Chain A
Amino acid sequence: MFKKLPDAGAATVTVLIDGKPFQAPQGCTAAAAALLAGATSTRTTAVSEAPRAPYCMMGVCFECLMEIDGAPNQQACLVPVADNMRINRQPGKAEAKP
């Protein structure tokens, strides 16, 4: 659904989106990478488990929460991609392990 602008830089990094390698433009955010990789939903909500996707892309709406490098509930639109970053869809509530 989403295409990157033609003037975007050519350099990429490899990230793992739900375990699948993806070449993401260097400097883009985890949320942008997930959308570019074709994700239509990046989490389900904590209470009703309805599907959600990144919305405001500027850190305000908290719709883009994903599990990044093992940490749940990260605002994926605020996290720049890095090589080998693990970006996972977050299903429902996060785990808190006693």
Chain B
Amino acid sequence: MSRYDTIVIGGGLVGSAIAYGLARRGLKAALLDEGDVAFRASRGNFGLVWVQSKGIGVPEYQRWSRLSSELWDDFAVELRQETGIDCAHEHRGGVTICLTEQDFAQRRQMMERLRLESGEPRFEYQMLDHDELRKLMPEIGPEVAGASYTRYDGAANPLYLLRALHAALLKRGGHYFAHSKVATLKAAPHDFTVTAGGATFSAPRLVLAAGLGNRELGAQAGLNMPVQPERGQILATERVKPVLGMLTLLVRQTAEGSVMIGESHEDVGLNDATTPDVQQALAARAVRTFPFLRDVRVVRHWAALRVMSPDGLPIYEQSQQYPGAFAATCHSGVTLAAAHALRYAGFVANGALPAELARFTGKRFDVQKAA
């Protein structure tokens, strides 16, 4: 039996960020990773650090995403200093492009609502019409109506980020265990015992960051985590010289020159296959937005499963039944990586979640008593 300060279940972006955050506070962390048989959302990620569309009606989510985006600037530097790995983090702002006037008008309403709901510091945005957007992105096609812009948006290379988090964790004395699917989980207040990969781990703290596996694991730790898969498909092109001056929700150009095309949402269960119809729809929308892409070749196409809660928000909670057990799940492992490492890990270390995260409890999915 190996004794740790914290066991983190889930070696993807969420678990790795929290485990690293614990290790940088001097806690001995064990990170258990199921292996390549798992549905690895963190390996199929689009890589945006995205704020501008998140948190309609839930300003806590908008503020948490914005905080993480702000923390990311120093976080990327920290990871590079710790590990020598450059996550290709960029923070130049981003746009959501609307192809019709109707979309543009709806987008304006949505952004204004985010601003009004935001609280302090105020959420700021700009609506750019076709001509204003063309000044920032001369590549847009004639059909484009306009776009919303915020300075909060950015991007990073999700694979380098995952590698950097693992390397930083090891450097700070944390332990990473591959091929370690949880076999048994025994929970008691501030006393958790996990068998995985033929070994036994025990710790006074437990973090559940197992993506789609959280549904089953949560139930064993007194945490309601009703997550569902949502398939997203991504196209990547050959590498071309930098042409896209700005990040968009649909299309971004990586530091290496590939153009990535994403933004599809399908409810197809645990199926991470690619399909020609989505490929065609993604390509068609990308070409309408940026006509020059017509002559750029797609070289890869993949799908991954987002980890979605019923309302799309993260789930953060400490188990009432088994204090010391914490839930951590979201569909924005890149965006929230900085907040997870620099903030959430601290809450876990201190044994209490702050009021600002109360909105994210899994209890919001419980059936309410009528009287």
Contacts and interface: CB of A to CB of B under 8 A. Distances in A.
Interface of A: 46-47, 72-73, 92-98
B239 A98 contact: no
Interface of B: 138-139, 238-241, 243, 256-257, 259, 290-293, 295-297
Contacts of B259: 96
20 contacts: A46-B239, A47-B239, A47-B256, A47-B257, A72-B238, A72-B240, A73-B238, A73-B297, A93-B240, A93-B241, A93-B257, A94-B240, A94-B241, A95-B240, A96-B240, A96-B243, A96-B296, A98-B138, A98-B139, A98-B290
A98 B287 CA distance: 11
Contacts of A98: 138-139, 243, 290-292
Given A46-B239, A47-B239, A73-B238, A96 B292 contact: yes
Contacts, number: 38
Nearest to B293: A96
Q: Which 8 A-B pairs have the closest CB atoms?
A: A96-B240, A46-B239, A98-B139, A98-B292, A93-B241, A73-B238, A93-B257, A94-B240
A95 B139 CA distance: 14
Nearest to A95: B241
Contacts of B256: 46-47
Tell me whether chain A's interface is mostly helix, strand or loop, or mixed. loop
A95 B241 CA distance: 5
Contacts of B138: 98
B239 A94 contact: yes
Contacts of B297: 73
> Which of A73, A92, A94, A96 lies at the interface centre, i.e. has the most chain B CB atoms within 10 A of its CB?
A96
Given A73-B239, A96-B292, 18 more contacts: A46-B239, A46-B256, A46-B257, A47-B239, A47-B257, A72-B238, A72-B240, A73-B238, A92-B241, A93-B240, A93-B257, A94-B238, A94-B240, A95-B240, A95-B241, A96-B241, A98-B139, A98-B291
Nearest to B240: A96
A74 to B, nearest CB: 9
